[in-house]
Every structure is written in structure tokens, then in C-alpha cells.
Structure 1
Amino acid sequence: MKILYYSKPCFGDCDFPLLKAMMEQGHDVKVIYNLTPYSLRTTIFNISKQIPKSGIFKATEYPELKAFEDYMPMDNVYISNEPTGRFGLKSLWLEFKTFQFIRKQEFDIIHYVEDPSPLFSLLLWFFRKKLVVTIHDGRPHTGDDNRKSQFVRRRLKSYVKRFLLLNKKENKLFEKGYGVNPEYIYNSHLGYYDMLHMYGNKTLQKQNYILFFGRISPYKGIEYLLKAMLIVHEVFPETRVIIAGKGKYNFDIEPYEHLDYIEFINKFIELDELADLIRGAQFTVCPYTEATQSGVVYSSFALNTPVIATRVGGLPEMIDDGDTGIIVPPCDEQSLAEAIMDLLGNSAKLSNLTNNIRVSADSGKGSWSVIADEYLDIYKK
């Protein structure tokens, strides 16, 4: 099957393993990433300097992306390069040039990830019979601007017959929020972000800390983790928590900054550092107040690190409670503290979770070859 996969750099860490699996199954896959000044440093895209010219380039013209040739073939990966990062004649020209690039190919499937620009949503109409659109978030997160997203999604629903959502929890939200016919909604899921195996110190041993990582945002519930750690510290005074990620906190962190068992790393986390943080952690905590799915969960699982997460969105679909992690109620620091202390005080249970993650990566929900088969079934509908 000849497939065009059009995505954004922020999804690179979950795209690349999927694309690799499709290529290994013998499919002809071409890939386009739309690159702007605002997406140079996100997930696996960590580009120091953007090519100062609009156009479509081979991804390997960026040395940071050429490095992935050891992971998967990069000959068919392209960059739709938009150095201005704003609406104007150059961005219009690039969108039309990208449209012509797609139109000249005889693709069986055109798979677009998340919301296109208003103009490109019009151009995609010409490919409507071949089109599949992935929606990562059935509704935008708290604090995220959703006006453009709502406008584009209502336009897409008029001609898209295959929407792909990555957990079943989001189906009703998406259906009711945008008036989408439920017959046009399909489901798959993410797999473990196995690219992280490429990074960091592969022999690093576990250390006495637990980890939160990811973009700092109001819905992440970090304040509940910090409150929980006040409780945990009374029983496990030697255990630290590391909060790693860039962003502005929506609450006052000053009372926690002087505590020697709480460490804030407020910056973009390079992949080598991230891999080492995950490898060294006893487990990861996702104290979210809302969620769709989370790349944090499967990044942790990729390096055999269990996760404690809240019962929101699709997280219970990603984590098998008691098998690969622990699920707790949201906005409840006492329950979160008890789950943390349960794992800190039970090394056999923690070891069992780790072993179950390894099995799932090979043949369970973490396997990208299984997920690629699910995508191909949707393409054939």
C-alpha cells in the first residue's frame, strides 16, 4: 500500500515507531512534517537552526534528523519548511506547493495527523476519498486555545469519513463536540516509544527518586503530586521527586522550592537527559486532572519504568491497573501518596510491574507491529 503520512514534529516520538513498523511490513510510506520556528525543539525534533527558506526538503538536510537513519529509513521523510511561522504569502505558497507534492503522487491513503490549517483543510477536500485524520485530543486540554481547532474540525466533519482516535474514552466527546457521525470514528492506540532506547546511558541503574516529566500545564496536576510528597516524606524521607519539564506553573511553588527532596528542572529536556531520568526513576507519576492519552506513559514503559496515573481520559486504557502500573483517583493527594508508598515499600510488586511491561512491549498493547495492523485495517475500510 502507498501511504502519505502528514504530521507535526510534536508527534515525532509516537510517529516514528509506527512508520518504521509500516515500512518493515513492506508498505511504501512517504512522510511530511510541517516545521515552523515554534516546533524546532519538541519531542525528537531538536533542531538548532531552521533552513531560512520556504519549501519542501528532504528531512536529512537537517543533520539532527539525519541521525535517525540508524533507526529507520529516512529517504522518504520530508520537511514542509515554514521559517516565518506566521500566516502570509509565503505560508500560502508553501501550502499550495505541499498540495501539489501530494497530488502528483498516486497514494492509496493520505493520513493527516491532528488539525490542518484552515486553508489546508480546504485543500484536503480533494483527497477526501483517501483521507484518514488522527485526532489526538477529542477536545483541547484546559489552557489550550481551541478556536481554530473547533473551526477546522467542523469543516473536516463535512467530508472526512475516517477519523482515528487513540482511545475509546474520547469517542463521545469528539462525536458530540463536533457533530461527527459515530460510524466515521475508529480507534487504535499508541505503542511504547522505543526510540528512547537510542539515548542516554544504557547501563544506568535505578536510584531513589520518582519522576514527573513533560510540558508544564494546568491540567497536569503537579500540585497534587507535591502535596502527596509531603505525606510520603514522613514515611520515606530518603525518596526524592524530580519535576522535569518546561513551562509556567499555575500555582505557587515557592513553599516547595526549599525542600531538599523536591527538585524542579524547568527547561526543555534533551532526549539523552530524559532517557537517563526515566531509567533512573523507581517509577513515573502522572497526576493529571484531565487527559486524552499521554506520551509520558509509553515513554516510561519504553524503558521498563512503571507508572502511577490518575483515572482520567484514556490513561486507564494505557495502563493495566496492578499489572503495568497503578491507577488512582484524580485531585486526591492522599490516594496518590498511598499508591506511591505502596510501590516504594514493595520491591517485589514493583519488579513484577516491570516484567509485565517487557512482555507487553513484545506482543501486547505496546507492540507497534500490532498497531500497524490496526491502522491497515482502518485504511482498507
Structure 2
Amino acid sequence: MQIEEVMSKPLKTLIWHWGRRGGGPRYTLELARVLATRQDMEIYLSLSRQSEIYADFECVQSAGRFDINTYEGILQFGLRSIRLPMLKRRFARYIREQKIDVVFCTMDHLWGAFLVSAIRDSDAVYLLTVHDATRHPGEDQGQRRWLLRRDINASDSALVLTRSVGLSLQANYSYPADRVFLSAHGHFGDGSVNVEVRSLPTDRPVRLLFFGRILQYKGLDLMLEVLPLLRREFPGLQLEVWGNGDINPYQSAIEAVGGVRVENRWIEESEIPQIFASTDLGMLPYREASQSGVVATAFALGMPCVATPVPGLCEQISDGVTGIISNGFGAAEYAEAVARVLRDPVLYTRLSQNCITVTKTTLSWDCIGQSVVDALRGAYAKGKRGKEN
């Protein structure tokens, strides 16, 4: 079938994600919802039955499903990994029988690198969403790094959520620039809820929010240096830390600073709206980042963010418009960026309004969906790497 003929018909797209928890399944669901409503797309799904939101995909009208059992725990992972050769054959057969045009992986998975040859050997084009071109410090184990590299090298085109990730792909993998397509990180909240513009609280202390996995690159240690500096001007200032990860390296600093609420555990999706609603300002003192789902979530709930000048974060947060970018990575510089918001209630409210506006426009799932459709059709037009049309 010629490309021109396919481009005039719905593009047969297999949306593939076998993750179980966290942002991957939710990102996949939101994209599947919006793509399934389009007349120019024919959507198929491949999901893990162990996904914590597996039942939510019942609302997605798909042309077919290739769902599998993945694993719950290390023992199941080991036992079921033995079956990967058989699973690869089944996966290849499904792609072939359904005449899939594009296999669209929404997030890399530990098993993905072992199955990509099934796509390479088919007529389908492989579009991989690359959330991170390199593993972050703290999760950069050799095996995971090898799996990511294998997956990226097997892809025909890449979808990235910030330009900085696209540039990293080109620098670290010699990835062709014309095969990198740009989208954005959407929010996972209820888009039907009317979010009110925020004001700085006057009846209680301001609460700063550090949210997400606790890993070294996210700079919780820097945040704990910053808090005493801020309290010189804002004595009642509070910090809340919500997320799983190793809190032990920070425990003594937390106790020394005082006035820090710590919820060191996996945070369920149902808890997130209330956590953000009861706090006031998002803290991202990161040392590096590709992009952040925390930013998208905060914006959707009208919460401005303060971040360090990491390129990926600078693309998400417009300085002085939806948040503040510090002038550097030091404690004094970050403290001054936070203080800039706390000193100016009018600025805070304006930032909040802009966050809501951006969420409803350029970060809406309809807008993101269009960018993904453009990437899918662009990837198909480019064809397989090494077999350009």
C-alpha cells in the first residue's frame, strides 16, 4: 500500500504500553481517549492487565486489543520473562494480522527492548515516546541504561515532550533531527472541573510542596538548605514532602530544619488533587530534568511552580508567566526566586491564572493529541530508518 493511500485513510495505530503504575499508564489513557475520537485514526491497544488503571481503558473505543499479563513483583517478573520469545512471536503475529501502520510506544518498558525486533521485522513503523534520553542519577543502573539505548536505537522516529530531550537524542545517539517530533506533557486531572484562580493564604502559613519520587537529582537537599533562608523573611513558612524513595539521606536535615511534613510512600492518584489543593507553591529545585509531570499537574490545579534553570523545566515554565525560574542552582538564588512570589500576592494570582489558561489551551489534551497525530503521520511518512521512502 502506498503512503499516499494510507494518508487518505485512518492510520492504523497500535498504542503500546505495558507499565503498571505511575504516569505511564495515565499518559497512555489520556492519549488513547483523544486519539480514539478522531476520524483520521484507527486505534488498537496493547496494555498490561496488571495496570492499576486497566479498567479505565474500557471507555476507549478501539478497533482491537492485544493485552497481556506482565508481573507483580520480582518473582513473577523472572518467571514470565522466560516466556518473552513466545510473547514476541504473538506480538509480531498481531501486528502483521491487523496490518498495523504505526506501533506507538507511549513509554519504554523493561520488556520492550526484547520485543522491538518484532516491529523491525514487520511492515509497521515504530514511534517511541522518549521521556528521558538518558537515565536520571539514582536510576542509571547499567541494565536499564542498556535497555533504553536498545529501544531508542530500534525506533524509527521519536516523540519527545521537550526540545531539550530531542537535542539530547541527537547528541547521544546521533538520532536524525527530522525523525524527532515534539509534543508536550499533559496533566492527569479532571478537565471538566472548574479550577479557581488562587491567592496567597492570609489565614495560615504558606505551604511549599515538594512532590514526586525522592531521587538525588531532584534536589531535596537543596530545598532543605533553602527553607531556613526563606524563614528569615517568612517565619511561618512550611514545607510538605510527598513521594516514595529513600528519605534516609535527608532525615537529619529534615529534623534540624523542623516544620517539614513528610509522607514518604507511594502516592495514590486519588490523593493528588487534595495534596495540591492544600498547598500553595510547587518546588522543583532539580539538578537536571527532561520535563516534569509535577509541573503539568500543578498548572492544571492553578498552582505556580518555582524551578531551577534546567532546560527541560525552562520549556515548561515560562519565567514570570506561569512560574519563576531561579538565576542559578545555589541555595541563595533559589530562595530569592521563591521569595519573589511570596512577597507579591498580585504576582502569585497572575501566575495562577496563567497556569489555568495554559492548561486549557496549549496543554489541553486536544492540542496534545493533534501534535501526536502529526508525529504519527510524520513517522509513517518517514518510514523505517535505513529504508527511507
Q: Under a length normalisation based on structure 2, what TM-score does the superposition of the two structures give?
A: 0.81
Residue 129 of structure 1: how far off its partner (Å): 4.3
Task: Look up the match of 1:163.
Answer: 158
Residue 149 of structure 1: how far off its partner (Å): 4.9
Task: Look up the match of 1:17.
Answer: 30
Residue 5 of structure 1: how far off its partner (Å): 0.8
Counterparts of residues 350-369 of structure 1 (less than 5 Å): 350-364=348-362, 366-369=363-366
SS in 2 for 1:251: helix
Counterparts of residues 75-154 of structure 1 (less than 5 Å): 79-83=67-71, 84-86=76-78, 88-115=81-108, 117=111, 118-127=113-122, 129-152=124-147
From 282, 307, 310, the equivalent of 1:309 is 307
Residue 75 of structure 1: how far off its partner (Å): 8.9
Counterparts of residues 58-77 of structure 1 (less than 5 Å): 59-60=54-55, 65=56, 69=59
| Distance in 2 (alpha carbons) for counterparts of 1:259 and 1:21 | 45
Residue 42 of structure 2 aligns to which amino acid in structure 1? D
Task: Look up the match of 2:14.
Answer: 4
Query: In terms of mean alpha carbon deviation, does 83-92 or 298-307 score higher?
Result: 83-92
Task: Look up the match of 2:7.
Answer: none
Q: Under a length normalisation based on structure 1, what TM-score does the superposition of the two structures give?
A: 0.82
Q: Percent of aligned pairs with the same residue?
A: 23
Task: Look up the match of 1:224.
Answer: 222
Tell me the alpha carbon deviations over residues 120-170 of structure 1, each in whole angstroms, 9 at most, x when there is no partner.
022121246422111110111112235345544554566633111211112
Task: Look up the match of 1:249.
Answer: 247
RMSD of aligned Cα (Å): 3.1
Residue 74 of structure 1: how far off its partner (Å): 8.0
Residues 142 and 23 (structure 1), Cα distance of their counterparts in 2 relative to 1, 3 Å cut = same
Decide whether the 8 Å contact of 1:308 with 1:325 is kept in 2.
Answer: yes
SS in 1 for 2:134: coil
| Distance in 2 (alpha carbons) for counterparts of 1:235 and 1:338 | 11
Work out whether 1:173 is the aligned partner of 2:168: yes
Residues 190 and 252 (structure 1), Cα distance of their counterparts in 2 relative to 1, 3 Å cut = closer
Query: In terms of mean alpha carbon deviation, does 89-98 or 225-234 score higher?
Result: 89-98
Decide whether the 8 Å contact of 1:150 with 1:178 is kept in 2.
Answer: no
| Distance in 2 (alpha carbons) for counterparts of 1:149 and 1:132 | 20
| Distance in 1 (alpha carbons) for counterparts of 2:70 and 2:93 | 16
| Distance in 2 (alpha carbons) for counterparts of 1:77 and 1:315 | 36
Query: In terms of mean alpha carbon deviation, does 132-141 or 150-159 score higher?
Result: 150-159
Decide whether the 8 Å contact of 2:188 with 2:297 is kept in 1.
Answer: yes
| Distance in 2 (alpha carbons) for counterparts of 1:255 and 1:160 | 44
Give ranges in structure 2 of 5+ residues lacking alignment.
1-9, 379-389
Residues 191 and 252 (structure 1), Cα distance of their counterparts in 2 relative to 1, 3 Å cut = closer
From 31, 45, 65, the equivalent of 1:31 is 45
Residues 257 and 272 (structure 1), Cα distance of their counterparts in 2 relative to 1, 3 Å cut = farther
Decide whether the 8 Å contact of 2:103 with 2:127 is kept in 1.
Answer: yes
Task: Look up the match of 2:383.
Answer: none
| Distance in 1 (alpha carbons) for counterparts of 2:65 and 2:223 | 40
